[in-house]
Amino acid sequence: MARDILIMNNLDGGYEVFIGGKRRVFVHAVDNVSLTLRDSEVLGIAGESGCGKSTLAKMIYGAIVPPLLVRSGSIFLYTRDGNVVELNRLSIEEVRKKIWWLEMSYIPQNSMNVLNPLKRIKDQFINVFKYHNMEMDKNEVMRHLKDILSSLSLPPEVINAYPHQLSGGMRQRVVIALSLLFNPRIVIADEPTTAVDVVTQRIILSLIREWRENSKSSLMLISHDMSVHAYMDDRVAVMYAGNIVEVGNVFDVFKEPLHPYTRALIESLIRKGDKTIRKGLAGQPPDLVNPPPGCRFHPRCPFAMDICRREEPPAVSLGKDRYVKCWLYASKR
Ligand code: SF4
């Protein structure tokens, strides 16, 4: 089994929001999350919108900007040179200089959040080189840049374009190229294809998959779309209302989902040739300011028991890399 290169222990955090400038409320988006990312694997983070996936990604990447707060927990990263760094003990400046782009990159949902609309694509890449004091002459930078763009099926002319002159799919590929510039060991992709059409989505996912297979880097892929996980992941972690409720090898999870929430997500997938009408999961994820007691899924769960409404379910390890957080499996502990 590949070794862990990113270890998250009991991460807890969310957003501190002031209502009317006075009353402080805490949106508890990530609740006691422990998870690992292995060398050269694709780990998917699945779940509906609003279940804490993007907040978890930001916490791992160190993009902690108020109102986001990390209340407790630790994140350890094994760097390329064999050192172990506790990420949440680094200052934001240290994270920027030593971790971002070099060890870990982030692909956001929307490329316009990353690209400066007033700068040509090549200048945006050159800025990243300058920021990291990379010793390369300009011709070498341009060659490297064209190579990386071509690996994402982008023509060399793109380097002279402004972001608004490119289609949404091309801009997203430019952002992916930026994130892969220094061949980072870990890439966190947060819904990287949500803003593009279905055809572009498949092209981008294939390119990411090809890059990962060649580079042997690790990918943490956040998506609400279970078909994306079926196509991309080695392991998948399912998140609901801030909790990781199930983790396992992607084939095992799709073949036999254990947690009722995972089952509902997989059952709602449209299958080739199957014309039966899919029933979506009834209800909405809970309000994370006041999440329900016990199991946070109990108001929507068809198997809910009395204990589910009172007590938080235990995390049950079922061997073979499988973990589930549900009272239905408590006797198997
Ligand atoms: Fe359903 Fe209870 Fe399991 Fe929660 S703990 S998913 S309510 S059976």
pLDDT along the chain (333 residues), means of 10: 92 89 86 96 95 94 87 94 91 89 89 85 86 75 86 89 91 90 92 83 89 92 95 97 97 96 90 70 90 96 96 92 95 75
pLDDT at 331: 82
pLDDT at 129: 82
Distance CA 37, CA 188 (A): 11
Q: Which residues in 159-172 are b (16+ Cβ under 10 Å) and which e?
A: bebebeebeebbbb
Q: Which numbered atom of ligand 1 lies nearest the CA of 261?
A: 6
pLDDT at 256: 95
pLDDT at 125: 87
Among 7, 167, 180, CA closest to 87: 7
Q: Which numbered atom of ligand 1 lies nearest the CA of 296?
A: 4
For a ligand 1 pocket test, name from 328, 331, 332 the mutation site with the most ligand atoms within 8 angstroms of its C-beta.
328
Q: Is this structure's pTM higher than 0.75?
A: yes
4-93+224-332: CATH topology: Rossmann fold (3.40.50)
First-last CA distance in the chain: 23
Say how many Å lie between the CA of residue 328 and the centre of ligand 1.
7
pLDDT at 14: 95
pLDDT at 246: 98
